[in-house]
Structure 1
Amino acid sequence: MTALEPTILATSGGHRIGGRTRVLFDSLVHHAVDLSGVHGRRPRVLYVGTAIGDAEHFTTRMTEAARVAGFDLTPLHLFPMPNLEDVEGTVLDQDVVWVMGGSVVNLLAVWRAHGLDRIMHRAWQSGVVLSGVSAGSLCWYEGGATDSFGPELRPITNGLGFLPYGNGVHYDSDEGRRPLIHRLVADGTVPTAHCTDDGVGLVYRGTELVEAVAEVPGASAYVVTRDPDGAGVTEQRIEPRRLAPSPRG
């Protein structure tokens, strides 16, 4: 079963340190699975690590996290070539796509070279829940702030644009992101921006933001809009709904 309408969960979280494993899936990943509506079988989750160059050690950690969570995980690698014969068929057969953080600039370039941008759009339209953290959040939007080019944050404006907004991730943990997002919205470089503190996710049905959710206490989401006179921005805080703790680990 897939979601009843196109669904995205864009986050600044989803992972935590485990006891017996290096990484566990936290509540945001479990919520992505819940949004898919899957029941009566093990959820199918596609892990996409393009933004960190398909690092094998992290694929191993994600596979172990999925085992603990009770998910069937399929890694999609694009380096040095796709590891799947039928990429589109495999993506469309999933309940959830979880995209790892890293370089969103590299992710977008490689996805477009392989046509994965178009495949992801078809999956979204068919009810596969698209989700991810950091670069795996920013990729679904028009643009936002990124450190993909170097330590100094810079704008990116060529996101996939499934969601017609800007995006700010790690809004509370990277002090440079909030002022840059404010500037980019104020000067029209990116449209109205939806932003998340660490541990927060934004749920979209179609392109409508329907809810903010959190796996940690005290974190928030924000909507940054350009003032009508163009002189500045207004930041509106959104109180997220606290998710139940992840069920395992």
Structure 2
Amino acid sequence: MPADAPTIVATSGGWRRGVRGLLDAGPLLHHAVELSGAAGRARVCHLGTAGGDQRWFTAEAVDAGQRAGFDVAPLHLFPMPSVDDVSEHVLSCDVVWVEGGSVVNLLAVWRAHGLDAVLRRAWEAGVVLAGVSAGSICWFRGGTTDSFGPELRPVTDALGLLPYGNGVHYDSEAGRRPLVHRLVAAGTLPEAHCTDDGVGLVYRGTRLVEAVREVDGAAAAYVVRREDGRAVEERLPTRRLPLA
């Protein structure tokens, strides 16, 4: 059962330290599943491309999904697609969850396999697209990344389903905020939407409708706009999600 409008949940969170395994699904991931409107047990396509499809992590995600009450359906692209029909696999799911890692490598591999076009069709069909870090930036026009090395650099050729820039780990990595400000001020990135760790942004179509968080404290979301050649930052209110 698809969501009632194209939906994206872009986060700096989603998993948490597990109790009976290494991972448990956190409130942000549960919220993405809830937004899908899945009737019965939801099916979540897990994409670990940005980390090279690490099988151990996939196995932990599958186990965590079982404990959380949804089915995780991995799609690996290394060393080859793990399913015969990538489009059918993705469109059969209620949610796509994309892990963190190298957003630059992710984009190159997705495009080589035509997954960029598949994900656009899925989004238009009501499959909720979601993810963390690289799995957040990918839906936007671009953002800040360490894909090229330890020094943060811009990426500006992401999928562009959302016509904004994206800043992740805004409070936990000191270089992220000032680089976002420089890129927006210079016009390298358009208006940028940014998340502290534990915060997610919910979009219906291309409209930001809510900022939510899975942590207590001061974690927040931000919009950074260009005004008179400089970056101006606005802090957004966030709603605390219930514990999963």
Q: Check whether TM > 0.5.
A: yes
Cα distance, 1:20 vs structure 2 = 1.5
Tell me which amino acid in the other structure corresponds to 1:68: R
User: Is residue 189 of structure 1 aligned with residue 188 of structure 2?
Assistant: yes
Among 194, 216, 234, the residue aligned to 2:232: 234
Gaps of 5+ in 2: none
Indicate the residue corresponding to 1:176 in structure 2. 175
Structure 1 segments (4+ residues) deviating >6 Å: none
Cα distance, 1:18 vs structure 2 = 1.1
Indicate the residue corresponding to 1:38 in structure 2. 38
Between the aligned partners of 2:186 and 2:198, the Cα distance in structure 1 is 29
Tell me which amino acid in the other structure corresponds to 2:240: R
Cα distance, 1:38 vs structure 2 = 1.2
Indicate the residue corresponding to 1:198 in structure 2. 197
Q: In the TM superposition, what are the counterparts of 1:220-231 in structure 2 within 5 Å?
A: 220-227=220-227, 229-230=228-229
Tell me which amino acid in the other structure corresponds to 1:30: H
Indicate the residue corresponding to 1:26 in structure 2. 26
Indicate the residue corresponding to 2:95 in structure 1. 96
Between the aligned partners of 1:223 and 1:7, the Cα distance in structure 2 is 19
TM-score under structure 2 normalisation?
Answer: 0.99
Between the aligned partners of 2:194 and 2:17, the Cα distance in structure 1 is 24
User: Is residue 244 of structure 1 aligned with residue 209 of structure 2?
Assistant: no
Give the aligned length: 243
Between the aligned partners of 1:170 and 1:76, the Cα distance in structure 2 is 26
RMSD of the TM alignment (CA)?
Answer: 0.5
Between the aligned partners of 1:176 and 1:146, the Cα distance in structure 2 is 10
Gaps of 5+ in 1: none
Indicate the residue corresponding to 2:47 in structure 1. 48
User: Is residue 160 of structure 1 aligned with residue 155 of structure 2?
Assistant: no
Cα distance, 1:72 vs structure 2 = 1.1
Instruction: Tell me the alpha carbon deviations over residues 36-67 of structure 1, each in whole angstroms, 9 at most, x when there is no partner.
Output: 0113x210100000000000110011011111
Cα distance, 1:233 vs structure 2 = 1.0
Between the aligned partners of 1:18 and 1:129, the Cα distance in structure 2 is 24
Please give the secondary structure, in 2, of the residue aligned with 1:141.
coil
TM-score under structure 1 normalisation?
Answer: 0.97
Please give the secondary structure, in 1, of the residue aligned with 2:173.
coil
Indicate the residue corresponding to 1:75 in structure 2. 74
Tell me which amino acid in the other structure corresponds to 2:17: I
Between the aligned partners of 2:45 and 2:59, the Cα distance in structure 1 is 13
Indicate the residue corresponding to 1:213 in structure 2. 212
Please give the secondary structure, in 1, of the residue aligned with 2:72.
strand
Tell me which amino acid in the other structure corresponds to 1:187: A
